[in-house]
Structure 1
């Protein structure tokens, strides 16, 4: 099942998501999230982006054929906790399915260590760097109620204010279904 993507301005994108009870069957939801993400040409999707305020996100960098470091990077993160971020911060242009057609440079730390459960509820602790770390940090922000535009300087945010308002009203072109909080 393909879910519509929740747009900027919806309160679910600004709340800290709740932990999922251990052992909950998430198989169908995770499958649906992959289907939704692929249908929208994304490489990451957090549960709040489909209107579910739970601590779950998925990533799939395997679709980026020009990025060999992501060739095996497809996984679900359940109840994740970033334990540590380290290394030099580096800028990279980010976008978001909940903020379509806006891309901006965001500085993030180069490495992270994360604790989470996989799809079978096995506990994991792994370290990631480079683009893998960045994708995880972006999606992790979603379950913490943060968006990539929160990292932008004040002037840049003010310049984007009109576009963001239009997105929240559904005045945006996407090739996927959306839920706009202020659409009349």
Structure 2
């Protein structure tokens, strides 16, 4: 079911999340709501706190991004054999990051209309439970790793705005104030409660 997306200024977005019990009756419904809400908003990732739940769970879709970008750009965002994924990450933990960094622009459904260039590691290793509740340790790279790190930030109470310097935050003061008050034009339902 499509849920309103919590936007900048909501306390839950600034709080670290807790792991969810794998046997929780809430889990399957949460995952379904994340997919429905993300797709409705035409996003590529969404975490539980963005729909008001304090759990360490998120979904990403880098496969759609792979298909949407031109072949010439794919080398910049994906390794040679990588075609992106559609994945569910339950109770993920970051284990390792590569020393190779790369900068790319990111947006966020909780900060509509803001785009920021962010430097992130090219490759990561994480542990998590998948949709079948199987424990996995896996490496990801490029855009998929970036999406995972962005959503991991959300589950740790870190927003895209936290990657911006003080001067930029001051410059964006009125835009952030508008987002906080729900005075933004978006195609998806938002929550400012």
Q: Pairwise mapping of residues 52-131 of structure 1 onto structure 2 (< 5 A)?
A: 52-64=53-65, 65-67=67-69, 69=78, 71-131=83-143
* Contact kept in structure 2, 1:83 and 1:112, CA below 8 Å: yes
| Matched residue SS, 1:112 | strand
Counterparts of 2:68 and 2:152 in 1: how far apart (Å)? 24
**Which consecutive residues of structure 1, in runs of 5 or more, have no partner in the other structure?**
none
* Contact kept in structure 2, 1:13 and 1:49, CA below 8 Å: yes
**Which consecutive residues of structure 2, in runs of 5 or more, have no partner in the other structure?**
none
| Matched residue SS, 1:105 | strand
Counterparts of 1:180 and 1:108 in 2: how far apart (Å)? 29
* Contact kept in structure 2, 1:86 and 1:109, CA below 8 Å: yes
Counterparts of 1:111 and 1:87 in 2: how far apart (Å)? 8
| Structure 1 equivalent of residue 32 of structure 2 | 31
* Contact kept in structure 2, 1:23 and 1:121, CA below 8 Å: no
- Structure with the higher fraction of residues in strand conformation: 1
TM-score normalised per structure 1: 0.93
